[in-house]
């Protein structure tokens, strides 16, 4: 059985000085994930591991390096899905945890639910023994500076976040995700984000919504999305890509055609 792994560090314009750190981070996650996959690791373990590496990397908008919301807090979204039995777990607007993707996996494996949000998600993480931290531990200087710029009236930073014509330095730094196929023929996908610039407290984007940010079905394929969550949510981007695979489309065509669906809501993503 062939094995496969894809990881991403988000879409959009990357400022020149962030290109190298972004590429290095994606490469490290791919290598770390690939090693496990080649050793016979399960697709589920591999996507969790790859996304954890990206959450640790401050180059990306996930885990450490997350964007700040309009109250100056880090609230993160993440999800994970196993394609064998369509099991899934997700957390929305969770605070104070190091690895939201691992909490999502715990929700999947240790709770009767698919998604937990806010304080409930954090309480669950604490009880499940997840690694906790303070907002300060997740905060990097770049995001603090962006927050202060927005608060002092630079609205363009928010308005142009998903504008492909925007200046590179105004672009977001990237939600992260991974999809894998293991030797047993199982697929898995995972996605994690700090969300969008200056989002309202409590805002939940596409990332933790199964079928929007993440989807995996052993019979057809798996996908992880990034981009403007409010658009991706309304077209259920990853499920729509996997539906195209189910109808026989090649992966690239399936992705392209699913992305065309975003035009209807004037959404942007990848
Ligand atoms: N999709 C993410 C969100 O809307 C952001 C991103 O992918 O950059 O929360």
Residue 119: CB partners within 8 Å, gap ≥ 6? none
Each residue's pLDDT tens digit, 57-111: 999 999 999 999 999 899 999 999 999 999 999 999 999 999 999 999 999 999 9
Contact 220, 254 (CB under 8 A): no
Each residue's pLDDT tens digit, 151-200: 777 766 666 555 555 544 455 568 999 999 999 999 999 999 999 988 99
Say yes or no to pLDDT of 231 above 90: yes
Contact 216, 249 (CB under 8 A): no
- Calculate ∠ Cα 247-233-58, nearest 5°: 110
Give the mean pLDDT of 127-154.
85
pLDDT at 16: 83
Distance between the two ends of the chain, CA-based, in angstroms? 28
Alpha carbons 80 and 158: distance in angstroms, whole number: 28
Q: How far is the CA of 62 from the centre of ligand 1 (A)?
A: 10
Chain mean pLDDT for the chain: 92
Pocket-testing residue among 93, 196, 211, ligand 1, by greatest number of atoms within 8 A of Cβ:
196
pLDDT at 167: 44
**pLDDT confidence band for 268 (50 / 70 / 90):** confident
H-run or E-run covering 191: strand 187-193
Say yes or no to pLDDT of 26 above 90: yes
pLDDT at 170: 52
Q: Is 133 exposed, middle or buried (0-12, 13-18, 19+ CB in 10 A)?
A: middle
Q: How far is the CA of 42 from the centre of ligand 1 (A)?
A: 27
Contact 188, 82 (CB under 8 A): yes
Q: 79 CB under 6 A from ligand 1?
A: no
């Amino acid at each position: 059985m062939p094995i496969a792994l894809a990881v991403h560090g988000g879409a959009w314009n990357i400022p020149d000085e962030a290109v190298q750190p972004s590429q290095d981070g994606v490469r490290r996650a791919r290598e770390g994930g690939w090693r496990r996959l080649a050793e016979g690791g399960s697709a589920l373990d591999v996507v969790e591991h790859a996304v954890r590496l990206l959450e640790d990397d401050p180059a990306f908008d996930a885990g450490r390096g997350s964007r700040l919301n309009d109250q100056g807090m880090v609230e993160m979204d993440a999800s994970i899905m196993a394609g064998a039995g369509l099991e899934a777990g997700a957390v929305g607007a969770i605070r104070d945890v190091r690895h939201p993707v691992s909490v999502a996996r715990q929700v999947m494996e240790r709770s009767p639910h698919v998604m937990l949000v806010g304080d409930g998600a954090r309480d669950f993480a604490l009880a499940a023994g997840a690694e906790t931290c303070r907002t300060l531990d997740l905060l990097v200087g770049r995001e603090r500076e962006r927050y202060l710029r927005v608060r002092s009236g630079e609205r363009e930073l928010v308005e142009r976040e998903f504008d492909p014509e925007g200046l590179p330095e105004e672009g977001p730094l990237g939600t992260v995700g991974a999809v894998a196929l293991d030797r047993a023929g199982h697929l898995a996908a995972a996605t994690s984000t700090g969300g969008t610039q200056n989002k309202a407290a409590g805002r939940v984007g596409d990332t933790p919504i199964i079928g929007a940010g993440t989807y995996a079905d052993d019979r057809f394929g798996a996908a992880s999305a990034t981009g403007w969550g409010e658009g991706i949510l309304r077209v259920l981007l990853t499920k729509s890509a996997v539906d195209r695979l189910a109808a026989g489309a090649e992966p690239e065509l399936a992705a392209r055609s699913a992305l065309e669906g975003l035009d209807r809501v004037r959404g942007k993503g990848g």
